[in-house]
Structure 1
């Protein structure tokens, strides 16, 4: 079952902590937790999501905010690797579409990321795909991402199933935390309150994250 807003937030399923002290959601009770989820090959993550997370960390980490980064991979598996994540964190090297976009917009310094991520960063748990694609697996994906699926006509339902099957057949890996939280893409900000409940699952640069953090810190 996918994690739902308003319920207890499941722990992140981590393959390794690449930077900072290992922790998890159950160890951060009493703090507001924001998990900034990104892919190494995701220009928007480095133009919007991560800079916003760094700004919030700098403002509120002494006031009860725990900021965590988690790299994941649901596409471009040759670029969204732990090796490229390690390079990014240690040297500022960026790859693929991230490198192209940041270079185009003049956001690199000597060809490297001009800022360092100051909070702990982990890699999502990736599981190699294989075997048959079952009907139940197809339906799990549909139910997590298409809430009005049951209102579709039988013909449209079948089309949706075929699309999801084709998507699953092209997947090399399953990203455990990404899928457990039914994220729609990156950047995504998971916001957990002081009691450990998932309060927001925000996809994209919404502009509301600081207001949300302030409200939860005041609860």
Structure 2
């Protein structure tokens, strides 16, 4: 895995959460590896590859060690990709991992979390280590074996410190 651990992952800017009893933040998740899957409901690669991959990851890894988070980040077709439509999508696809709705941009159509992470589009996979550092930032469909290996590598690290 290419080590991009030079920066702390930015905070998420979420308007609404699904499948979460309370708002999730990176601070709340500190100590776990985080797999952040950014997607859109109308993105072909998201529906056919990255969302099923996120479901497989959530089923395959210990949730006490790895948090799988979906981020619905809408940068086009805003009028049809509403939180109400997302709720139906989540139910129809039986998604059980937490999903945040990225806040719309203030000056342009790019949502705030998408801009903070400099995402090129969807699907995007971001892996964040136990200390809150971005370790992988990948645009497009990623191979399951590669992603599983990257996650296993981060889970194997034991570098937690009190100042993290």
> When the two structures are superposed, what TM-score results if normalisation uses the length of structure 2?
0.85
Equivalent of residue 122 in structure 2, options 168, 178, 186: 186
Structure ranking higher in helix proportion: 1
1:174 is paired with a residue whose SS is coil
Partner residue, 1:126:
104
Matches within 5 A, 1:4-153: 6-21=6-21, 22-62=23-63, 64-90=65-91, 92=92, 115-127=93-105, 129=107
Give the unaligned 5+ runs of structure 1. 93-114, 130-170
Rounded to whole Å, the distance in 2 between the matches of 1:5 and 1:185 is 21
* Aligned residues of 1:5 and 1:201 also touching (Cα < 8 A): no
Two-structure CA RMSD over aligned residues (Å): 1.6
1:20 is paired with a residue whose SS is coil
Q: When the two structures are aligned, how many residues end up with a matched partner? A: 151
Query: 1:84 Cα shift?
Result: 1.2
Partner residue, 2:152:
214
> When the two structures are superposed, what TM-score results if normalisation uses the length of structure 1?
0.65
2:150 is paired with a residue whose SS is helix
1:126 is paired with a residue whose SS is coil
Bigger Rg, structure 1 or 2:
1
* Aligned residues of 1:19 and 1:89 also touching (Cα < 8 A): no
* Aligned residues of 1:61 and 1:67 also touching (Cα < 8 A): no
* Aligned residues of 1:64 and 1:217 also touching (Cα < 8 A): yes
Q: Residues 123 and 188 from structure 1, CA distance in 2 versus in 1: closer, same or farther, beyond 3 angstroms?
A: same
* Aligned residues of 2:19 and 2:96 also touching (Cα < 8 A): no
Give the unaligned 5+ runs of structure 2. 158-164
Rounded to whole Å, the distance in 1 between the matches of 2:29 and 2:16 is 18
